[in-house]
Structure 1
Amino acid sequence: MLLRYLTALCLLLPVHARANLDVHPMRIHVDAGKAAGVRVHSQSALPQYVRATVKRVLHPGTAREQEIDEAAGEAAAVAVMPSRFALAAGGSRLVRVIALDPVAQETALRVYFEAVPPLEDTDVAEAPGAASATVGVSLVWGVLVNVLPPQGRAALEVQGNTLRNGGSLRLGVLKVEHCVASSCEAHPVERSVYPGDALPLPFQPRADARVNVYYRLSRDGYREHQQTLRPSSDTAAAPVDESPELIEDAA
């Protein structure tokens, strides 16, 4: 959704306009009490000020997805350091996203980086010439942050034609297979299913079928896991540390 938004915004810009910032990576995960880094690069010939703001994502990966302002202070899930800084022309800055209190289940937030006009009472260290710099066309970059629980579990179950996530980790579901006896029909999915959410299956499982689910976990990068389920509401939860079958380990 974010990539579509940025693409549409770029199409509306004059052909000579260029993004004044570049941010990498666009998705990170953070364990409780730890930090992850985001590198902000300047694409401008002038010094500029950058501000970071945090939004909490509600119902991520669903049609009901929305963002709200993240609570400040002790109630915040993450801290961004620094949250405002001066960026020299062509320079870069490493920004740390720090997970604060442990979360019970994987939580999605988005950290937005944008260039802003300098403020007279700004408390960031000034770069030479920054006070006179002006902000022209500015793209806002949103980095998706997944905050992980200390003891995460992947718990899947099939209820009717729905795949439910009863665990505490986000599942990046790649595909599902409907298997009867030795015959399996594969269905690509490419959807994130967060704890407590459900994914409608593209088929109605037969009572004697097996449903193979291929998925990724946030902390495992491109490694793929697989679980085989029966169409029953009593499917047992499988903890992550029991090492679900590894399908692929990509670099």
Structure 2
Amino acid sequence: MIKICLAGALLLALLPAAPALANLNVHPMRVHVEAGKTATVRVHSQSPQPQYVQATVKRILDPATDHEQEVDEAVGAVTVMAVTPGKFGLAGGGNRLVRIIPLRAVEEETAFRVYFEGVRGSDDSDPGVTVQGANATLGVSLVWGVLVNVLPADGRVEMQLEGDRLVNRGSLRLGINQVQDCDADGACITHEVKRSLYPGAAMTLPFVPQSGGRVDIDYRLSRAGYRDHRHTLTP
């Protein structure tokens, strides 16, 4: 059996000539949830055989940066959220609704990844499909990683310019779409920037803001990912 990790998007490496069948599908791949509320994802079986699925939660440190890493919760720490059910059986071709529930409030938007993976059941059966013969179907056990953003109760947006750096001083993630460099006469140059900026993080702008001008930041928030916002800063 071959395992392939999917973290936010499906990444398939080159496989042998035999056709490949994924045994799971998860939707959506990104959710946000606030204290006192619940988010849901649905796990779909892509296999005709029954299987067991297990959920694993990882906290993301330094999200959306070059130093991003995933870790288990520290021993003795209060768990921020729960996934229920954490392990369940899935009938062939069936689906299951899974709930993601914050267990305590956070002070700033925090990123987690919930992995869903086919595992052995009580009868030690293997959820994957093995290769039998040169022309057999190749079973691929996929690990799906759903990005979960836990939001603070009273989130705020606050940005600051420090030279050619944009710093997120607020408590919410900023989904930066573009940045406009405008001079004192109002002429602007637009720079496309697709970047998530989490609380406390900073990014280097593709220009140096000039005194007397302004910088327009177009961004989106996790709570309403379809809605565009604009914030103007002056050097």
TM-score under structure 2 normalisation?
0.88
Identity of aligned residues (%): 56
**Are 2:8 and 2:145, in contact at CA under 8 Å, matched by a contact in 1?**
no
Matches within 5 A, 1:230-241: 230-231=234-235
Q: What is the CA-CA distance between 1:11 and the residue it aligns to?
A: 2.8
- Corresponding position: 1:204 with 2:235: no
Residue 166, structure 1, aligned to residue 159, structure 2? no
Contact 1:46 1:133 in 2 (8 A): no
The question of whether the paired residues in 2 share the 8 Å contact of 1:105 and 1:195 is answered with yes
User: Could you say if the C-alpha distance between residues 175 and 82 of structure 1 is closer, same or farther in structure 2, counting changes exceeding 3 Å?
Assistant: same
Gaps of 5+ in 1: 121-130, 232-251
Residue equivalent to 1:141:
144
Q: Which residue of 31, 34, 43 corresponds with 2:34?
A: 31
Matched, 1:103 2:106: yes
User: Residue type of the partner of 1:61?
Assistant: A
- Write out aligned runs for 1:9-158 (5 A): 9-12=12-15, 15-71=18-74, 75-119=78-122, 132=125, 134-136=127-129, 137-158=140-161
The equivalent of 1:222 in structure 2 is: 226
After TM superposition, the structure 1 stretch with the greater mean CA deviation from structure 2, 131-140 or 173-182, is: 131-140
**Runs of 4+ displaced beyond 6 Å:** none
Superposed displacement of residue 74, structure 1: 6.7
Report the Cα distance in structure 2 between the residues aligned to 1:103 and 1:57, rounded to whole angstroms.
14
In 1, distance between residues paired with 2:66 and 2:158? 22
Corresponding residue number in structure 1 for 2:133: none
> Which residue of structure 1 lines up, in the alignment, with residue 194 of structure 2?
190
Q: Which has the higher helix share?
A: 1
- Displacement of 1:99 in angstroms is 0.7
Kindly indicate which of the two structures has a greater share of residues assigned to strand. Answer: 2
Alpha carbons of structure 1 residues 159 and 15: separation in structure 2 relative to 1, 3 Å = farther
- In structure 2, stretches of 5+ residues that fail to align are 1-5, 130-139
Deviation at 1:209, TM superposition (A): 1.5
Change (3 A) 1:64 1:167: same
- Alignment length, in residue pairs? 219
